[in-house]
Structure 1
Amino acid sequence: MSPSLDHSSSILIIGAGTWGCSTALHLARRGYTNVKVLDPYPVPSPIAAGNDVNKIMEHKELKSKNPDPTSVAFATCTRAALKGWQTDPVFQPYFHETGFIVSGHTPALIQHIKEDEIDSSDAQYTPLETADDFRRTMPPGVLTGEFPGWKGWLSKEGAGWIHARKAMVSAYTEAQRLGVKFITGTSGKVVALSYENGDVVGAQTEDGISHRADHTILAAGAGSDRLLDFKKQLRPTAWTLCHIKMTPDEADKYRNLPVLFNIAKGFFMEPDEDKHELKICDEHPGYCNFVQEPASSGELRSVPFAKHQIPLEAEARARDFLRDTMPHLADRPFAFARICWDADTADRAFLIDRHPDHPSLLVAVGGSGNGAMQMPTIGGFISDALEGRLQKELKDVVRWRPEIAVDRDWHSTQNRSGGPDRIMDFQSVKDDEWTQIE
């Protein structure tokens, strides 16, 4: 039985990232008056996946007439998120509906896109068959590459990019205005959940304070795995990104461009409007940081860490993507780079549910690489789960489900392509095999 819940109930949210800020906002909008958020860093946290100049936002209607429940649930979430990006005044200024190009460069990848990613017979998708087709999607001089073997499809509606950092700060600011209390720094760094009589009654922070609450929501992204035994349901996984400094004139030319995404090579979005930096990501199944805990006899786990550099192999992949698409930029120095963590569930569906053994604890984790685009509305679904009224098509998919992770292969690519087509391990990257960007 879940404990009682009313608008005066004390609610503690652990994590002030994308999902934590969204949840705080939605709870405040619903009239909850006693909401507190804990995080080790001020918003925007330097280690939050959502602290980024841009992220992809794409909604695809279901292609199959008999889609699987996970696809239905994801489409439900992205459909709601798109409406939020288009209409919610807290988020609308940070959505750029510029379009989206999905592409591949081998026959197998192109066939995969046709079968699983899009409905190529839909007039919404414009086929791109040649290098000239790709070049014509953007102003002259932007795409100068030969696109060897590439084919793709351009969708102009319901897709583009979001300024994730500014949107997260906007959600935080509005939640705070509505009465949510944010505690950050040492006073917000949670070191353990607090238990009484088998239930979770809050959390303890590094400064020795115990924060009691009627309901606790664990939404600490990849860090959630350090605070609770998820029974192998979460695998912290990292990706790599880098920025190239552009001149003001170049930045103007690169405005309002569709996202260009190759499902095995990488993607780029237009330059940040403040610093004029072009973001490039190399595409790959992800990095983990595998260690044994305890060191002598423990189980293998992926442990997140922060770093504002990327492996040299990731730099090489990013520059390979540029040589195909924008070779005039391929040798420019990077102005910034970092690794970006998320948490993969075993089936890459979100995990939003009351804990079966601790009824006062709700987990809201498992973005699985698709969490940031959900920012306007994911907090509403999390609030629904807290209130016990999450719609069935979502509830059945995002439930607590350790049974599917019992024999989990920690090295599974989970159907992601690119790089060496395997999960990479930061433990294998030597100290001198990282970029040295100042």
Structure 2
Amino acid sequence: MDLDSSIIIIGAGTWGCSTALHLARRGYKNVIVLDRFPVPSPISAGNDINKIVEEGSFSSSDDPEDEDVSNILLDLATKGWISDPLFTPFYHDTGYIVCAHTPAGLEQLTTHEGITPSSTDFEWLSTPADFRATMPPGVLTGSFPGWKGGFKRKGAGWVFARGALVAAYEEASRLGVIFITGPDGDVKSLLSSPDGAITGAETASGSKYTADTTILAAGATAPQLLDMKDQLRPTAWTLAHIKMSKEECALYKNLPVLFNIESGFFMEPDATNGELKICDEHPGYTSFLPATKTSIPFSKHQIPLEAETRVREFLADTMPQLKDRPFSFARICWCADTPDRNFLICRHPEKKNLVLAVGGSGHGFMHITSVGGFVVDEMEGVLDARLKKAFRWRPETAIARDWTDVQNRRGGPNRVMDFGDVGEEGWTAIPAR
């Protein structure tokens, strides 16, 4: 590769914008990003008011090489959030509470998350009074039935996700990256030469873009453009917002993140709209078409009524004063799980000139500061050997894949659900903004 090489990125979400930014920062002069929607896309998981970020990591693997990968990812992501002037304004080191409330959940908390009464990084919380004392009076008024967990006062918190995503886009644009959206950017197929090499992409308008290298960063929609050999499972989660008063926003400002790995989480209200986001925790939803093995993502600014019930149950345990408030906004949010939840960042072994940047597996946004660097390293042939092994093309891990595998996630019915079982009448009816 040289700096004048032509490069197409398919997808202007979290990883597409991060890759565009890192390419531009390294001096690449001929980069085009294609997407159906302008940044921030209404269907991008990164188009969100907040995401959890930790400066600590816990691995469920006994493989030292996997632990090395976890630490590399953590160190580079953290470096970006605390030292890159582009991203530091969006990181809020407010602290982080992580907990559970059933024997199975507490076992996972201690075994997989490494949080126990003797943890050095976390203060152990075991009574309702312990939980209420982590925030100002009047916030946590619930009874926290059976809840136990740890409180990390520093080195964790949340980031303004949409702000970071837009900042990456704007800086990449300033440095010369061209973003094409609408029908001209809505990629429908990859272009290839007679020998099978990928030469670019064709969009909904019929426009064809050719390049020396094509980077597929299309997230959950990637399987619609390329046979991923069952390595990606498009999986969705659910979120809801509640409108808060000015007085409530002031009371809730700078609160630590509260995350129960079995029921949900919340962070402080966003500064723009004064809305509190609550997510109900569960192993995710798929959207499998009949008689296929493909989960097809779709956009919807509503959530299943069963998800609303879970959100309100979480509020009843933590902030019952809010449990009956109407939702001001809700939506489903898509990601793509690999079988082992490691990223898939590699050159395609058969399709020359195609680089893959997919498989966020529910933890992709935290790495917006650094993931584009991994993609460019792979394109240039200099990716760290440990990352290269972890991120490789690995269809052998998806043979006879169990599409209902919860992948160490808990909550709700403790199983992967499918939107096909919800039914037309099983959704909220929140008025459009």
Say which SS state the counterpart of residue 308 (structure 2) adopts.
Answer: helix
Q: 1:346 aligns with which of 332, 339, 342?
A: 339
Match of 1:328 in 2: 321
Structure 1 vs Structure 2 CA RMSD = 1.3
User: Using the alignment, how far apart are the partners of 1:428 and 1:74 within structure 2?
Assistant: 36
Moved more, 54-63 or 424-433: 54-63
Q: 2:362 aligns with which of 369, 378, 384?
A: 369
- Over residues 134-175 of structure 1, what are the superposed CA-to-partner deviations in whole Å (9 max), with x where a residue is unaligned? 111111111000100000101123211011101000000000
User: Using the alignment, how far apart are the partners of 1:62 and 1:50 within structure 2?
Assistant: 23
User: Using the alignment, how far apart are the partners of 2:302 and 2:31 within structure 1?
Assistant: 36
1:212 and 2:205 are equivalent in the alignment? no
Report the Cα offset of residue 180 of structure 1.
Answer: 0.3
Structural mapping, 1:37-48, within 5 Å? 37-48=33-44
User: Using the alignment, how far apart are the partners of 1:273 and 1:259 within structure 2?
Assistant: 16
- Over residues 50-104 of structure 1, what are the superposed CA-to-partner deviations in whole Å (9 max), with x where a residue is unaligned? 0000011113245799644334313311221111011111111011111111100
1:291 and 2:284 are equivalent in the alignment? no
Match of 1:57 in 2: 53
CA contact (8 A) 2:304 2:422 kept: yes
Residues 1:300 and 1:63: Cα distance change in structure 2 (over 3 Å): closer
CA contact (8 A) 2:59 2:67 kept: no
1:175 and 2:168 are equivalent in the alignment? no
Report the Cα offset of residue 299 of structure 1.
Answer: 3.0
Match of 2:99 in 1: 103
* Count of aligned pairs between the two proteins: 429
Match of 1:126 in 2: 123
Q: 1:195 aligns with which of 192, 197, 201?
A: 192
1:429 and 2:422 are equivalent in the alignment? yes
1:337 and 2:335 are equivalent in the alignment? no
Equivalent residue letter for 1:368: S
**Which 4+ residue blocks in structure 1 deviate beyond 2 angstroms?**
59-72, 118-123
Match of 1:228 in 2: 226
Say which SS state the counterpart of residue 291 (structure 1) adopts.
Answer: coil
- Over residues 171-203 of structure 1, what are the superposed CA-to-partner deviations in whole Å (9 max), with x where a residue is unaligned? 000000000000011110000000102110110
Moved more, 113-122 or 304-313: 113-122
- Consecutive unaligned residues in structure 1, runs of 5 or more: 293-297
Report the Cα offset of residue 107 of structure 1.
Answer: 2.1
Match of 1:155 in 2: 152
Q: 1:404 aligns with which of 397, 401, 426?
A: 397
Match of 2:271 in 1: 273
Match of 2:136 in 1: 139
Match of 1:186 in 2: 183
Residues 1:119 and 1:411: Cα distance change in structure 2 (over 3 Å): closer
Say which SS state the counterpart of residue 117 (structure 1) adopts.
Answer: coil
Moved more, 108-117 or 67-76: 67-76
Equivalent residue letter for 2:203: T
1:314 and 2:290 are equivalent in the alignment? no
Report the Cα offset of residue 251 of structure 1.
Answer: 0.5
Match of 2:7 in 1: 11
- Consecutive unaligned residues in structure 2, runs of 5 or more: none
Moved more, 346-355 or 156-165: 156-165
CA contact (8 A) 2:233 2:403 kept: yes
- Over residues 230-260 of structure 1, what are the superposed CA-to-partner deviations in whole Å (9 max), with x where a residue is unaligned? 0000000000000000001100110111110
- Over residues 271-325 of structure 1, what are the superposed CA-to-partner deviations in whole Å (9 max), with x where a residue is unaligned? 0110000000000000000114xxxxx5321000000000000000000000000
CA contact (8 A) 2:92 2:158 kept: yes
Say which SS state the counterpart of residue 290 (structure 1) adopts.
Answer: coil
- Over residues 355-376 of structure 1, what are the superposed CA-to-partner deviations in whole Å (9 max), with x where a residue is unaligned? 0001200000000100111111
The TM-score normalised by the length of structure 2 is 0.97
CA contact (8 A) 2:60 2:113 kept: no
CA contact (8 A) 2:58 2:112 kept: no
Residues 1:259 and 1:186: Cα distance change in structure 2 (over 3 Å): same
Match of 2:375 in 1: 382
CA contact (8 A) 2:61 2:67 kept: no
Say which SS state the counterpart of residue 274 (structure 1) adopts.
Answer: coil
Match of 2:27 in 1: 31
CA contact (8 A) 1:266 1:280 kept: yes
Report sequence identity in percent: 58
CA contact (8 A) 2:60 2:111 kept: no
User: Using the alignment, how far apart are the partners of 1:73 and 1:324 within structure 2?
Assistant: 36
1:305 and 2:305 are equivalent in the alignment? no
User: Using the alignment, how far apart are the partners of 1:125 and 1:428 within structure 2?
Assistant: 40
User: Using the alignment, how far apart are the partners of 2:222 and 2:79 within structure 1?
Assistant: 29
